Structure 1
Amino acid sequence: MKAISLVSARTLSLVSHEACKTLPTDGIEIDIVLSGICGTDLAVLSGREEGQVGIVRGHEAVGVVVNVGAGVKRIRKGMRVVIDPNEYCGNCEHCNAAKTHLCSGGSHAALNIAGVNKHGTFAERFITHERFVHGIPDDMSWETAVLVEPVACILNNIEQASIKAGERVLLLGSGPMSLVAQILLRAMGVHTCATDLNTFRIEFGHALGLNIVRPEELECLGQNHEKYDVVIDTVGNQLETAASRVARGGRIVLFGFNGNYEYSLPAKHFLVNAISIIAAGEYNQHFPRALRIAHRLPELGKLVTHRYPLEAYSAAFDSLLNDPCAPTIKSVFTPNPTHLSR
């Protein structure tokens, strides 16, 4: 089958990839319908993060079940499903302590993550275990469903930062994950403001009723002294700005990935102002709740603006990596487009 693999440190290629020929007893084989391009994929290709060479990328995906193992009880052939890519072992000390996001029992003594350290979903078919597969409601669009994994990521960070209704949250950057966060936070009764440099993203957010401004506008309109209960760095290199905008007793959430970024912590400032830094890590059993919440927020599906066949991977990534003003929000691959009419 066709798949998109990382063939060198910063290079992708369309390859012929064969999935496991023997389906595990609890195995589920899935035709991938949509698989989203994530910021972590872009971080690997731009050199901000390391990627495991030889791995089929992709970890945000939905599809149709085409085969099930003999011991499968909950999932049926023909079901529309969303895939949880975080394959915890269920047996290590962390999993036994209900901290599956810290799993140390995977093949690399860590959590097995599809598209990161094991083959992922930028492929025509994908095989996983039943506990990592969830049925999609009949009235949920493919586009909304493919954002369930991002919703799980956001929920984890919201919980770890103890964000609650009535609080004021500033999000630095308005890429796809930030827009998902803004939609979720708004639904919770949280007041949000976000920044971005991309005019298309700003106008797109406005069309959804979101408050997004250019970074320099925070210094205008009387907002130069405004502080926020929580500041979320969705870019991965904005801690200095976050520290200047967070209120006393507030929280800064690390969300964007940039392995090259370093920040000199003004320890006394953080100490005397009781500012917390939150690093939530991977989500922990958030998928079922994320699916329920996404079902109530069908507008999430509007974030999917571009669809590409696997063969067009180069055009898809070139646009996202090389054009900071591209009129794009969420791009997805469509390995099996014939299923899209369902």
Structure 2
Amino acid sequence: MKAVRLESVGNISVRNVGIPEPGPDDLLVKVEACGICGTDRHLLHGEFPSTPPVTLGHEFCGIVVEAGSAVRDIAPGARITGDPNISCGRCPQCQAGRVNLCRNLRAIGIHRDGGFAEYVLVPRKQAFEIPLTLDPVHGAFCEPLACCLHGVDLSGIKAGSTVAILGGGVIGLLTVQLARLAGATTVILSTRQATKRRLAEEVGATATVDPSAGDVVEAIAGPVGLVPGGVDVVIECAGVAETVKQSTRLAKAGGTVVILGVLPQGEKVEIEPFDILFRELRVLGSFINPFVHRRAADLVATGAIEIDRMISRRISLDEAPDVISNPAAAGEVKVLVIPSAERVAQQ
């Protein structure tokens, strides 16, 4: 089968590899769709820890074609979405229920072979069944939505909250929708790209801000800003130093800041601890998706989340290395790899 392989840092290619054999507790899944994530680009450049050589791709869904001998509750023919993050269940963090902080955490598409391939092995406990009537490309959004859902849970958004979201990529746009579902009445998204600002307003943002047009902090939290004095919750979704620095200045006194975007490992950002102390801000990191994948899958399956407008284009496995090796195109939200296609026309 074809697979997109990270051979080493900076070295990615399509190779022919053997179809994996499922163990007793595994599912062999024919991949229908797998999303390209910013993390894949970090992996290529050595900015996020991984264990190459490895097949990339952690946002996938597909059809079960073979179930291991110990699997009784999912049969071939079922469609599943995979939670790629495999915790050990034994370490102190797992025993405390903090499975996303597992000392032995391993991820499909990062530490073991993932979904940029014709087939992927998924442990049964990581698989969540979704309807066969669902558009299969929608299933590839369950993993990023689950990460956003964990961040929104941590943020404490409730009915009437004011929220600022920094970054107009797929994470920011999904978070806009979740914030509105959680009850936020004001949701402001900041991004430079006009197409993404328009899309944010179409999927639920009450206002958008162009950071290239002036000071974002003044525009949102200044005396004559959209929410004078700052918002209840700031969620950083861009994964860049500039927006992380903005985040604490956008929160009101007593507010909450959630860092959801992924910055390259080792990058530093200046903050003012006195400001955090004096205004008693809660500054939280949100890492992956503990115990929320099922909820995310249900949100996708019920149509509660707008997906189709998030899809920028569909590509083949052969095209994936070039897309991963280059920055996202202007206005691009989510690129999906469709392994069954030799070449998929851009949409």
TM above 0.5: yes
Partner amino acid, structure 2, of 1:134: F
Q: In the alignment, what sits opposite 1:235?
A: 238
Match of 1:91 in 2: 90
C-alpha change, 1:228 and 1:69, in structure 2 (3 Å) is same
Q: How many Å separate the matches in 2 of 1:214 and 1:48? A: 28
* C-alpha distance after superposition, 1:152-199 (max 9, x if no partner): 111111122222221111111110111011111112221210111122
Q: 2:324 aligns with which of 278, 298, 317?
A: 317
The answer to whether 1:274 aligns with 2:280 is yes
Unaligned 5+ residue runs, structure 1? 105-109
Counting only pairs closer than 5 Å after superposition, residues 43-122 of structure 1 correspond to structure 2 as 43-46=42-45, 48-104=47-103, 110-122=104-116
2:306 corresponding residue in structure 1: 299
Separation in 2, partners of 1:130, 1:46? 31
Query: In the TM superposition, what is the alpha-carbon distance from 1:113 to its structure 2 partner?
Result: 0.4
Residues 307 and 289 (structure 1 numbering): CA distance in 2 closer, same or farther, change over 3 Å?
A: same
**Is the CA contact 2:20–2:28 (under 8 Å) kept in the aligned structure 1?**
no
Deviates more, 1:89-98 or 1:124-133: 89-98
Quote the Cα distance in structure 2 between the aligned partners of 1:56 and 1:37. 13
Structure 1 stretch displaced more, 30-39 or 42-51: 42-51
Task: Output the CA distance in 1 between the equivalents of 2:219 and 2:153.
Answer: 32
Alignment partners' CA distance in 1, 2:195 and 2:288: 30
Residue of structure 2 equivalent to 1:107: none
Deviation at 1:11, TM superposition (A): 2.8
Q: Determine if contact 2:200/2:208 at 8 Å carries over to the other structure.
A: yes
**Aligned match of 2:200 in 193, 205, 217?**
205
1:328 equivalent to 2:332? Answer yes
- Which letter does structure 1 place at the counterpart of 2:291? Q
1:127 counterpart (115, 121, 126):
121
User: How far apart, CA to CA, are the structure 1 residues paired with 2:292 and 2:145?
Assistant: 9
Q: Secondary structure at the match of 1:311?
A: coil
Find the residue that maps to 1:66 and give its secondary structure: strand
1:152 aligns to 2:152 (yes or no): no
Give the deviation of 1:148 after TM superposition: 0.9
- Name the counterpart of 2:35: 36
More displaced, 79-88 or 203-212? Answer: 203-212
Structure 2 unpaired stretches of 5+: none
The whole-number CA distance in structure 1 between the counterparts of 2:93 and 2:234 is 29
Amino acid across the alignment from 2:307: L
Greater shift, 232-241 or 121-130, is seen at 232-241
Once the two structures are TM-superposed, the CA of residue 137 in structure 1 deviates from its matched residue by 2.1
Mapped to 1, the partners of 2:96 and 2:328 lie a distance apart of 43
2:54 alignment partner, SS class: coil
Distance 2:314 2:339 in 1: 10
Aligned length: 330
Please give the alpha-carbon distance, in whole angstroms, between the structure 2 residues aligned to 1:25 and 1:47: 33
Once residues 289 and 20 of structure 1 are traced to their aligned partners in structure 2, the CA distance between those partners, rounded to angstroms, is: 29
Cα distance between partner residues in 2 of 1:322 and 1:91? 39
Q: Which string of whole-angstrom CA distances, capped at 9 and with x for unpartnered residues, describes residues 87-134 of structure 1?
A: 122333332332221223xxxxx2110111111111110012111111
Offset at 1:58? 0.7
Q: 1:298 to 1:252 in 2, by over 3 A?
A: closer
Q: 1:2 corresponds to which residue?
A: 2
Q: TM-score, normalised by structure 2?
A: 0.88
Q: Secondary structure at the match of 2:65?
A: strand
Which residue identity lines up with residue 300 of structure 1 in the other structure?
Answer: I
The equivalent of 1:223 in structure 2 is: 225
In structure 1, what is the Cα distance between the partners aligned to 2:198 and 2:113? 36
The structural deviation recorded for 1:139 is 3.9
- Aligned residue in 2 for 1:254: 259
CA distance in 2, matches of 1:46, 1:193: 32
**Which position in structure 2 is the counterpart of 1:189?**
183
Shift of 1:209: 4.2
- The 2-side partners of 1:226 and 1:300 are apart by 34
Aligned-partner residue type, residue 213 of structure 1: V
Confirm or deny: 8 A CA contact 2:30 2:62 kept in the other structure. Answer: yes
Evaluate the alpha carbon distance shift between residue 246 and residue 328 of structure 1 in structure 2; reply closer, same or farther with a 3 A threshold. same
Q: Distance in 2 between matches of 1:317 and 1:283?
A: 23
1:169 maps to 2:178: no
- Aligned equivalents of 1:287 and 1:74: distance in 2? 18
